[in-house]
Structure 1
């Protein structure tokens, strides 16, 4: 039986600090929700996370923890309608148009012969990620629409067999990522599949339980779908692209993915011991990473690996009418905030049906790359802040809709850490000096990362005061480095 997010939450989700945004079923782990995998019974098939030692896990996750910044790519047939169907704007994110507009399977599959992204360039996409300072890419190999963006012998609804393009962009990306030294991961919608018989679907509008399907062509056995399409395609993705994928990114688990069926997927994953996969498989499997979506948790997830996935505008898949782009300053401060809490930032682009990356996305990534070319040392390979109060505090009076205290962000500064450095990312210039009342290390020197010139340091009890120039060196964030012993 398929369940909505709210019904599913009774068994799989624990309320945290907020509430879901109305009408946004597309978000798989919303603000204030946390996919809980701790209360499940013993897994029918132990995963690698169940059996590895801490040292083995640290080695497997090492590159991910060092990376801090990655590119998400949502690209599929949904880029053709680009948010419009039957001449009307569809009120959802671009990649959810089939579900939100209740498009019949045959009508949606008819988009495939129109898909010919001749402007796609793996070299340009990977170069853009590298220019932006990103260390890895995760692309939608198959989203909920069921269309495979790779060559698949398991199912003919794929870009090589069903479109005039006849090429495998995943293979091109894998080759280019190897060449440019970028890790490549694959998003795969293991549970929802709106064009395969038996695939799950989330509730939208008047879609009826128990399946929430809107077309009889979607009906069938979920177990059959899993064994005939999902698992064979996962085996293809895990075997056909050399060392890729470094990551498998699952999404939107429903109660159809029982522990027993989840274990069938895990049998496949266990054959790839270096693989990193997230907490969205279902069946009670925790995976490796927490996946807050479209928000940054106030305190991160201490002791856990996590990654905030976020859009630049309001959609994941390309939507021609969505020009509500965040500024490069906001995106950079998100990155700094996330790194200060020990997480990674997976920032999305949504290519057009032609394969081109929208220019506003290119411009913002290039701007982020310019800042990171100077200040990347304060992001990559860092650990969380030694302080914490600088991020803000929970209000004593303001409440979220669920009654929990509202977190009120503060945006004066953030901090990241390495073995012999404390990095202070200054958003607001504090004037002639920066003061810390207490520092849990001995500060031996200070300078601004942008120019390296020594700064005067005064020790004040357990704290320090560092003399600063009259003006910041960067309007987004100037990084003060405290050398420590």
Structure 2
């Protein structure tokens, strides 16, 4: 599997292969990212994943496995240019504008005095996540531009010291998450840093190897950057916010992050044994979670925890010209598809420079939340499907870009399970009867989840399969959930 950086994306390159191709999702910009970073079995510093027992790992990851749905937040200085520089739209995702437009360090840092997001309201953002049915939030504490969205003694390029705002949004979010019973995690770009001397950079355009820097101010020693800025800021994030973060979300490791240097980060992480962290640290560490980006893997990752991170439009950080928002139907079906394969859905919002969330994102999240208010039982704390073929199949003739059989998704239904229930999410109404060729459990009854009275539906068993009688019309046009009780 190829690995492409978050700035090297292309339209539709994995959608058909992944099973994302539903409705207007075919218009999304997609990339292959995150699920195949090189990992090793022996590490210079053993991580929590190397030393814990299966029971300890299950206890540590229990809340994450039950959550199924979280909010990603990409917010920083890049929300000021919002995709435009020198009066021109810069191609690509909004938070990569410094790299894509080769903006000099001094010019980019000059944005900080203009950053005064007085409309930022932690209560509203956490409330939005809550109303959407999300169980955790992961926010960009520092992205690749090197600007810390928190108070940092390790480096002055931060929201408290370098802007007129003078407030720490991470502190306000942490307090609000405690109040509203929401988990909080921090995204931290541990490797790339385009404004700190020695920070790494991915190649864009004519940026020259080996550093791919475009401004002499970026030059320096990577190990020194890691020890003087990156690790000290991670320590601040891990110690200054009480019981948060519960997740550290790393990103885009480069060859500079050797196993030895990654080991220095792991020493810090090991001081927080309940922490969950992903597979993007680098240095051969596998972390806890696979991180498919902008797509849903055809069959999930059996035996491995995973989380699909996805945008609502085509960008992560706010971009004023991007109005290509996915429909509520697409977002909900993505969530159901991911849950049916045992994964989590980390769905992004990109606040504006004011701190406000674009209205299109607010509307869609609230609509998703309305569905979950009725049907959340079929998503939270569920296990993957007992079936599998309903998601689609690999083609006998068509090949993907790697020459492997192409996955052709089917969008008639999905399924999740609990110990005594099987949930069938119907995307298409099959008529008067829903038929299963095989049912591995003994079904004792059936009803529609949206029916508060739980009116029994007639179940007819035949051989190893069964038929469930359905009402004449589909109650929910996006997804109606059929509940099979089992013994």
Within a 5 Å distance, the mapping from 1:365-380 to structure 2 comes to 365-380=365-380
Counterpart secondary structure, 1:34: coil
Aligned residue for 2:236, secondary structure, equals helix
Distance 1:105 1:298 in 2: 41
SS of the residue corresponding to residue 238 of structure 2 reads helix
| Secondary structure of the structure 2 residue equivalent to 1:254 | coil
Matching residue of 1:410: 410
Mapped partners of 2:37, 2:212: distance in 1? 24
Equivalent position of 1:238 in the other structure: 238
1:298 to 1:5, Cα distance in 2 relative to 1, 3 A: closer
Is the contact made by 1:83 and 1:97 (CA closer than 8 Å) also made in structure 2?
yes
Q: Return the offset for 1:299.
A: 0.2
Q: TM-score, normalised by structure 1?
A: 0.94
Note if 1:467 corresponds to 2:462. no
Alpha-carbon distance in structure 2 between the residues aligned to 1:461 and 1:217: 73
- Could you say which residue in structure 2 is the equivalent of 1:279? 279
Question: What 5-or-longer segments of structure 2 have no aligned partner?
Answer: 6-13, 19-29
* 2:419 aligned residue: 419
Secondary structure, counterpart of 1:226 in structure 2? helix
State how far apart, in whole Å, the 1-side matches of 2:434 and 2:254 are.
Answer: 50
Q: Is the 8 A contact 1:68 1:381 kept in 2?
A: yes
**Are positions 1:482 and 2:447 aligned together?**
no
1:258 equivalent in structure 2: 258
Per-residue CA shift, 1:119-144, capped at 9, x if unaligned? 00000000000000000000000000
- Answering whether residue 35 of structure 2 is matched by residue 34 of structure 1, we say yes
Contact 2:277 2:289 in 1 (8 A): yes
Tell me which residue corresponds to 1:22: none
Separation (CA, whole Å) in 1 of partners of 2:388 and 2:195: 47
Gaps of 5+ in 1: 7-14, 20-28
- Contact 2:414-2:426 within 8 A present in 1 as well: yes
* Mapped contact 1:18–1:404 kept (Cα < 8 A): no
Query: Could you tell me whether the CA contact under 8 Å between 1:115 and 1:163 is conserved in 2?
Result: yes
Please give the alpha-carbon distance, in whole angstroms, between the structure 2 residues aligned to 1:195 and 1:422.
Answer: 51
State whether residues 18 and 31 of structure 1, in contact with CA within 8 Å, keep that contact through their aligned partners in structure 2.
Answer: no
The answer on whether the counterparts of 2:414 and 2:425 sit within 8 Å (CA) in structure 1 is yes
Which residue does 2:68 correspond to in 1? 68
Residue 189 (structure 1) shift: 0.1
1:51 alignment partner in structure 2: 51
In the TM superposition, residue 42 of structure 1 has moved relative to its aligned partner by 1.4
The CA deviation string for residues 301-341 of structure 1, in whole angstroms up to 9 with x for no partner, is 00000000000000000000000000000000000000000
* Equivalent-residue separation in structure 1 for 2:79 and 2:32 (angstroms): 26
Partner in structure 2 of residue 318 of structure 1: 318
Q: Does the CA-based 8 Å contact 2:17-2:298 persist in structure 1? A: no
5 Å-filtered alignment, 1:340-359, equals 340-359=340-359
TM-score when normalising by structure 2: 0.94
Tell me the distance in 1 between the aligned counterparts of 2:274 and 2:34: 28
Q: Secondary structure at the match of 1:281?
A: coil
Q: How many residues align?
A: 465
Separation of aligned partners in 1, 2:231 and 2:111? 25
Query: 2:227 & 2:31 partners in 1: Cα distance?
Result: 29
Q: Deviations over 1:407-429 (max 9, x none)?
A: 11100000000000000000000
Native 8 Å contact 1:18 1:401 kept in 2: no
CA distance in 1, matches of 2:33, 2:409: 15
Deviation at 1:34, TM superposition (A): 3.1
1:457 aligns with one of 453, 456, 459: 459
Matches within 5 A, 1:57-136: 57-136=57-136
Contact 2:37 2:282 in 1 (8 A): no
Give the Cα–Cα distance (whole angstroms) in 2 for the partners of residues 374 and 415 of structure 1.
16
1:215–1:295 Cα change, 3 Å? same
CA distance in 1, matches of 2:81, 2:380: 38
What does 1:380-395 correspond to in 2, within 5 Å?
Answer: 380-395=380-395
CA contact (8 A) 1:5 1:202 kept: no
Secondary structure at the aligned position of 2:173 is classed as helix
Which segments of structure 1 move beyond 4 Å, counting only runs of 4 or more? Answer: none
